[in-house]
């Protein structure tokens, strides 16, 4: 489906891609801190989908598995909804936003308590064809 025949455009798609060809995938409430997630996101930003999947498959960080699924999903979305070739896709945008933080308490000596912050992340991956990124994409 091309951008000209697209009728119902979500606000998220409009914000991420506009009328450019491509696709995206979002994972929300991932139980990894945003700081750790950004390290892995920086590894794959700007790389081709196949290269990014190879990197993520062997990355030691726990969140690499989440990013692997996300990149694969974004590429599949581009294939199915936009009819794009998977081998021509490049990861143009990786966003890692802070999700809600759960507050927990840990007992300490003399009746005191320390607060434990269990952070979460919202991950977004955008893929676009190579030809489109050369013409002035993100």
Domains, the chain, ranges and CATH?
Answer: 24-130 (3.90.470.10)
Nearest to 131 by CA among 22, 14, 23, 44: 22
Please give the torsion angle defined by the CA atoms of residues 31, 35, 37 and 39, in that order, rounded to the nearest 10 degrees: -160
Under the phi-then-psi rule, with left for phi > 0, alpha for psi from -120 to 50, and beta for the rest, what region is 52? alpha
Interatomic CA distance for residues 107 and 109, integer angstroms: 7
Nearest to 1 by CA among 122, 104, 83, 119: 83
Give residue-wise pLDDT tens across range 75-84: 999 999 999 9
Interatomic CA distance for residues 88 and 70, integer angstroms: 17
Structure-block tokens of residue 72:
């694969």
Give residue-wise pLDDT tens across range 83-126: 999 999 999 999 999 999 999 999 999 999 999 999 999 999 99
pTM (2 d.p.): 0.85
């Amino acid at each position: 489906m091309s951008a000209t025949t697209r009728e119902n455009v979500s606000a998220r798609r409009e914000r991420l891609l506009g009328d450019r060809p491509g696709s995206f995938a979002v994972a929300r409430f991932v139980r990894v801190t945003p700081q750790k997630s950004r390290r892995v996101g920086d590894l794959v930003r700007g790389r081709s989908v196949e290269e990014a999947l190879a990197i993520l498959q062997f990355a030691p960080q726990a969140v690499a598995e989440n990013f692997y699924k996300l990149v694969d999903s974004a590429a599949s979305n581009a294939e199915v909804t936009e009819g794009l070739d998977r081998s021509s896709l490049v990861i143009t945008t990786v966003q890692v936003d802070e999700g809600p933080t759960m507050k927990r308490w840990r007992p300490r000596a003399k009746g005191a308590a320390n607060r434990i912050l269990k952070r979460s992340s919202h991950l977004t991956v955008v893929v676009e064809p190579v030809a489109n990124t050369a013409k002035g994409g993100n």
